[in-house]
A and B are shown apart, each in its own frame.
Chain A
Amino acid sequence: MRPQGNPTISFAPAGVSRREFITGSAAIAAALGVSLTSVAEANERRQEAAKDTRPVRCAFIGVGDQGYNVDFKAALSVPGVKMAAVCDIYKPYLERALKDVPGAEGYDDYRRVMDRKDIEAVLIAAPLYMHAPIAIAALQSGKHVFTEKMMAYTIAEAKAMARASLSNKTPSGGKLVLQIGHQRRANPMYNHAWELINQKKVLGTKGILHARAQWNRNGSWRKPPLPGMDDRHRNWRMYADISHGLMSELGTHQIHAVNWFVGAPPVAVVGLGGLDYWKDGRTIKDNVEVLFEYPNGVKLNYTSLTTNQYDGYYEQFMGKDGTLVISEEKETPAAFYREPTAAAEDWMKNSVTGPQQGKHHEVGLKLDPEATKKIAGPGVKIGEKTFAGGSAGKSAYVLEMEDFFNSVRTGAPVTCDWREALACTVAACRADEAMDKHTRIEIPASDYTL
């Protein structure tokens, strides 16, 4: 059966025997080279290194909405980060960012940034289809890379990025860091939830049996036009030949959380989706309903709509003893609902901030919604992640960037590495394929390895 409490990514393709599954799982685990022990050791090192503020000279490529307002600012909240170059093809964006970093040089061609010998790390928030070309160029020129999620537009591109990170070295011969921006990994609340499910077993000894996730909105999802920018550049998320739309831009954040919590990526997928409402020239689907199958019969029911926002977004983990929900609910961003058949555990009395009633009168408990307050002291371990002292008040974006620069400085394992990010890319691409072909896709094991 699935190894309990082991966060290693492993999977059993549907239909294979138990023996084959175990063999395959062990092989994959070995290939991925991750174990609890090494993660814990790495976290120790990470905590030690948290005080390291050695200057790191960076280039930031793509300073648009998310790039500038979130990632650029988060990177510049990390001590020692020096922005030496900024690159964007849209001049007003470039000028806006350069105003903040007067010492940096501006570029409109990312390839010229790679020639800069003084730059150690490249941060990428360009459109999805540009992640691979830019990241590979950066890795080939010996620069560490942080790129926004999803990792790449195709599985092959994502693998090429991973290979480039493994086969190239820093100018001094060191290992290259490649981190992808699925920031839930750096979020204390998600780590808290992981701990409850995988270590405290609040859902029962068999853990997650089913998962549901959705990201529903009511709106065109279209960005308003910017003067001088054509729609493919402005609304690249709308075009199926360069984006997987809802699956890549919204879905992979949530699928990442499910993969992480379940401890394995999906083995098969079926789905229905279509372009049924916003027929405004876009080519992506405006609604997706996908079922992912995980090892041991665990299933994820994933929905993303653009014509109805009821219940917004959430990730819901269901086990024999209860349900854990993480949502955009302001007052209760995370809650646990105990099944009437399950016994209350002692930890619940200490871990909660107040009672919470479920919709159908389940006994519910509101999980600590301010988990970051726990890290005001000298540092604390939540689940498998150690948050350094002084983490209080940091958003997941800032924590994620701190982790990246910590890895650059010390070689510590990254927060979301290519293995996890590749698994998300596989999920989005295979889901799109299943919807397009109206068929069940068995995800080959080879998708998850290089």
Chain B
Amino acid sequence: MAGFFFARALVKWLEGMADSPAGARHVQDVEELPAAFRGEPEPVAAETEAEWVFPRVERAAMGSLFEIFLAGHDRETLIGAGEEALNQIERLDRQLSHYRDDSDVARLNANAFDHWVRLEPRMYHLLKRCAAVHAETGGAFDITIGSLVKAWGFFRGQGRIPPDDEIASLLPRTGMQRIEFDDSDDLVHFTVPGMEIDLGAVGKGYALDEAADLLRLYSVTAAVLHGGQSSIHALGSPPSGHSGTGGQGVSGAVCPPVPLPHCPTVGWRFDIKDPRDHNTVVETVYLRDEAISTSGSYEQFFEQDGVRYSHILDPRSGRPTRGMLSVSVIAPSAAESDALSTAFFVMGPAAAQEYCASRPHLKVIMMEDAAGPELRVTRIGFEGEP
């Protein structure tokens, strides 16, 4: 009997995901199911293990739809914790946004050249981590590209091609090596005027990590959090005997999970798909207390004179990156997977392989934007791969 009810719960969850527009529904779960599935006592179930419930909460933030899938035994508590986690994401949106004039990013951009600016510890450490990735990737990842992003019309714009001399004039205002840090008081200083930080490549991941930490405080042991599907944090693993799979072929790369019965319990399951053909699964991964992020040229771009310009800029040249279709990175945190998926997209497969050689905790799937039907895939960190 339990199996039948569980399947119905899954169908509800699936339906909710498939047709859920941003912000249309606040909370959605398995209300129509028997009492046992809402965590309420049922005489016949008294001797069995507590039943699982799978509520879902969502909210628009950071220009994306954030969703949290929770698994546990008490529906109200799970939803409450999920809403608190969404509150946390909303707070971080206010702190990290470059669209607000009272965010920490705005405070830095307005003042950090004139004088040293202090940041609260977690934000400071986020910037330090960004600086480390910047150094380790030879500048392929860089959060100081704010003025370039604006020049290319990616900030509230439809895209434009700036003249060469404009790009040349902005490059000296770009580069994390031009930021000074003072650990004694968490101070930040820009050494050049006009530098602008844009945390677009790492903010969602950071927010998901912080939200997941809050869920852990609430003793949530199994959840999946994602921001617009491009950044996903998998907390714990699905309930025993169940697993998850990304069945919804939206933009192809990574999709939110759906728990399915009778799968091995090694983590939440995600299917990484060919962005050009959603029926082709390139790789299936199982994540447990890990994150996956995908950067893709198929998602955000503009076209002019038959040329497609990706929103992912190479900070070293000041121009959109070309050559990659999609890069997915699995890392212990979503901030790291976010930063590295962007970096590897810019660096290309050979440099990414070199980077990962000394970092066995990373897994990477890279798909190249080549002509012809053959999809060129590079796998890094998977068993059986070089």
Contact = CB atoms under 8 A, between A and B. Distances in A.
Q: Which of A92, A373, A395 has the most CB of B within 10 A?
A: A395
Q: What bracket does the count of chain A residues touching chain B fall in?
A: 20 to 34
A209 interface: no
A70 B102 CA distance: 14
B114 interface: yes
Interface residues of B, number: 37
Interface string A98-113: 0011000000000000
Contacts, number: 79
Nearest to A76: B120
B357 to A, nearest CB: 31
Closest CB pairs A-B (n = 10)? A224-B80, A393-B107, A393-B106, A392-B110, A73-B120, A100-B121, A76-B120, A395-B102, A227-B219, A393-B110
Interface stretch (A77-85, A177-185, A237-245, A266-274): A77-85
Contacts of A390: 110-111, 114-115
A390 B108 CA distance: 10
Interface string B72-110: 000011011101100010010010000001111111111
Contacts of B91: 69-70
B217 interface: yes
Interface in A57-89: 65, 69-70, 72-74, 76-80
Interface in A355-412: 370, 372-373, 376, 390, 392-396, 398
Contacts of A398: 107
A77 B104 contact: yes
A393 B171 CA distance: 24
B107 A394 contact: yes
25 contacts: A65-B84, A69-B88, A70-B91, A73-B120, A74-B120, A76-B186, A79-B118, A79-B185, A92-B217, A96-B217, A100-B120, A100-B122, A223-B80, A224-B79, A224-B81, A224-B84, A225-B77, A225-B80, A226-B218, A227-B218, A227-B219, A390-B114, A393-B102, A393-B106, A393-B110
B17 interface: no
B87 to A, nearest CB: 8
A18 interface: no
B106 A392 contact: yes
A222 interface: yes
Contact of B217 (A73, A222, A226, A376): A226
Contacts of B114: 390
Contacts of A76: 118, 120-121, 186
B333 to A, nearest CB: 15
Contacts of A392: 101, 106-107, 110-111
